[in-house]
Amino acid sequence: MFIESDGYAIHVEECGTGPAMVLVHGWGSDSAQNWRDTGWLEALSPRRRLICIDVRGHGKSAKPHTRVPYGYAALGRDVLAVMDALDIARCDYLGYSMGAFMGAHLLGHQAQRFTSMVLGGIGNETPASAAQGTVIAAALRAPDPDAVNDPVGRAVRRFVEANPNNDLEALACSAEEMWPQGYPLDLAGPDIARADLPVLIVNGTDDHPYVDSADKFADALPNARHARVQGCDHLTAVSDPATKRIVLEFLDAEQP
């Protein structure tokens, strides 16, 4: 189905039974790649009614070719619009990478809409990593992918082109807008101290720079903890069985 948010068509799929849970994928991916192909839907569907959103610019959702629609505050509105359209007053939230940064903004501005949050692949950018948004955008816009010399840009270009749903210009615009905003406490703002719902932050031990600063993010929340998955980086943590085990234990403990 499609639900309108800010004038954009947002693609949504549902499966599973139980309390509602919104799933929000990472940048350059989509719901199918991030959650179905990695076994998350199979693991979660016996426990939750899963609301899987393709974030604007991704998957089957609308893909604007300007930067402004890709700020995290704007992306967070897509989540709320979907919840409102489906008459979901409150629900659990699972976000990875981009989806986790969206969750950080929602924690600071709409915490009352959520019963728990799992945020994976999140922490502070560094000046060097934040600047990679520009490098990535240039790589995505290069007419010849073989001419991309920057190793990060080249790797991201390969990752993005592996998904036939991706639009290179939309993702270039989003990279330019998102990467400099990648500071969870800034996204959340001062009201994060009142977001007392249970929060689980999960990072791979090799996911730098995020794992290095995620403790600070967890410490700013009244009811959060930071779990680490040994031997995983930003890409491999999503599909690692240990990540699923940590998340499922958290959700089962929070089940009313």
As a whole number, mean pLDDT of residues 66-79 equals 96
Q: Report the C-alpha gap between 103 and 106 in whole angstroms.
A: 5
As a whole number, mean pLDDT of residues 234-241 equals 95
Cis ω before 164 (30° cut-off from 0): no
Q: Report the C-alpha gap between 115 and 20 in whole angstroms.
A: 10
pLDDT the model gives residue 144:
86
Q: Burial code of 147-167, b = ≥16 C-beta within 10 A, e = fewer?
A: ebeeeebbebbeebeeeeebb
Residue 255 has pLDDT above 80, yes or no: no
Residue 256 has pLDDT above 60, yes or no: no
φ and ψ at 153, to 5 degrees? -60, -40
Q: How far is CA 137 from CA 10, 68, 132, 218, in A?
A: 23, 15, 8, 30
pLDDT the model gives residue 204:
97
Q: What number of residues does the chain have? A: 256
- Which one is predicted more confidently, 144 or 60? 60
- The percent of residues in the chain predicted with pLDDT above 90, rounded, is 95
Give the confidence band of 243 by pLDDT, cuts at 50, 70, 90.
very high
Exposure of 250 in the CB half-sphere (CA atoms within 13 A): 25
Give the confidence band of 127 by pLDDT, cuts at 50, 70, 90.
very high
pTM over 0.85: yes
As a whole number, mean pLDDT of residues 99-106 equals 98
Q: What token pair was written down for 141?
A: 């816009």
pLDDT digits (tens, 9 = 90+) for 28-42: 999 999 999 999 999
Give the confidence band of 99 by pLDDT, cuts at 50, 70, 90.
very high
pLDDT digits (tens, 9 = 90+) for 40-58: 999 999 999 999 999 999 9
pLDDT the model gives residue 146:
84
Residue 254 has pLDDT above 80, yes or no: no
User: Looking at residue 101, which CATH number applies to its domain?
Assistant: 3.40.50.1820
pLDDT the model gives residue 149:
87
Per the prediction, the chain carries an average pLDDT of 95
Q: Report the C-alpha gap between 186 and 104 in whole angstroms.
A: 9
pLDDT the model gives residue 147:
83
Residue linked to tokens 């996911």: 207
Residue 229 has pLDDT above 90, yes or no: yes
pLDDT digits (tens, 9 = 90+) for 2-19: 999 999 999 999 999 999
Q: Residue 231: give the domain boundaries.
A: 2-254
As a whole number, mean pLDDT of residues 21-32 equals 97
- The percent of residues in the chain predicted with pLDDT above 70, rounded, is 99
Q: What token pair was written down for 106?
A: 């929602």
Count of domains observed in the chain: 1
